[in-house]
Amino acid sequence: MTDIASNIISLKKEIPANVKLVAVSKTKTTDDILKAYNTGHRIFGENRVKELTEKGEFLPTDIEWHFVGHLQSNKVKHIAPLITMIQSVDTFRLLRIINKEASQVNKILDCLLQFHIAREETKFGFSMDEVKEMMGSEEFRLLDNIRLCGVMGMATFTDNHEQVREEFRCLYGYFNELKNKYFHDQSSFSEISMGMSGDYRIAIEERSTMIRIGSIIFGERM
Ligand SMILES: *Cc1c(COP(=O)(O)O)cnc(C)c1O
């Protein structure tokens, strides 16, 4: 068995059955992706449009692709035919464009609202006020080609476990508030995407439903 295959198998044994695993394959080759695919894994994440469309062309069509990076609105059309979920929706404007491009290809795209939870300045994401304003608008209700499935966030890159835990708790709090206010009758609003190679154990303790793992499966990136 390859390292990649055994890495993904042991990771799946470790995590609870209700936590989904997104194998983040950015910078890795299609051969590497196939090694994971051949263990039965189907959910993969990429963070660049060009890389995703190039790889997607050569890989099995039953892969469920998740987009996890900052997405420029003019590039949504390139990934709309291929993608299952966009985890990194960080503005209302982007959500409207995703809706438009999804309708062009006759599909309903699953989306997560990315929240800014880290102390670092550079991470993209909504604030709670922005999301509430969006939810209250007439325009939001007209979006028929997107399905909001939950929230996503990245914790600060730090060894301080308590800080990371606080940030994950904050994201869980956002999820809960949105669920109660706007989505209580929608079972599809159920995902809390948090946890990467360095912090997924804490994320799972803080009720993550979806972890996004690159390095542990595919090895360090250059
Ligand atoms: C790269 C990336 C990951 C995976 O990172 P690892 O630390 O390699 O597990 C997860 N989420 C996002 C948004 C990423 O860009």
Question: For residue range 86-127, what is the model confidence (pLDDT) as tens digits?
Answer: 999 999 999 999 999 999 999 999 999 999 999 887 668 999
Ligand 1: residues with CB < 6 A are 24, 26, 47, 68-69, 154, 196-198, 212-215
- Read off the pLDDT of each residue in 182-187 and give the average, rounded to a whole number: 95
CA 213 to ligand 1 centroid distance, Å: 6
Atom of ligand 1 nearest to the CA of 198: 7
Which conformational region is residue 137 in: left (phi greater than 0), alpha (psi within -120 to 50 degrees), or beta?
Answer: beta
Residue recorded with tokens 């985890």: 87
Q: Tokens for 163, please give them.
A: 């800080």
CA 138 to ligand 1 centroid distance, Å: 34
In tens, the pLDDT along 151-184 reads: 999 999 999 999 999 999 999 999 999 999 999 9
In this prediction, residue 121 carries a pLDDT of 76
Query: Which residues are paired to 126 by β-bridges?
Result: 115
Cα–Cα nearest to 154, from 217, 110, 198, 189: 198
Pocket test for ligand 1, best of 212, 218, 220, 221 (most atoms within 8 A of CB): 212
Which conformational region is residue 63 in: left (phi greater than 0), alpha (psi within -120 to 50 degrees), or beta?
Answer: beta
* Distant-in-sequence, close-in-space partners of 218: CB < 8 Å, separation ≥ 6: 4, 7, 23, 24, 25, 28, 32, 36
CA distance 181 to 166: 22
In this prediction, residue 122 carries a pLDDT of 67
pTM of the predicted protein model = 0.97
Pocket test for ligand 1, best of 8, 20, 24, 204 (most atoms within 8 A of CB): 24
- Read off the pLDDT of each residue in 18-36 and give the average, rounded to a whole number: 98
CA distance 154 to 192: 11
CA 142 to ligand 1 centroid distance, Å: 32
pLDDT, averaged across the chain: 96
Atom of ligand 1 nearest to the CA of 26: 1
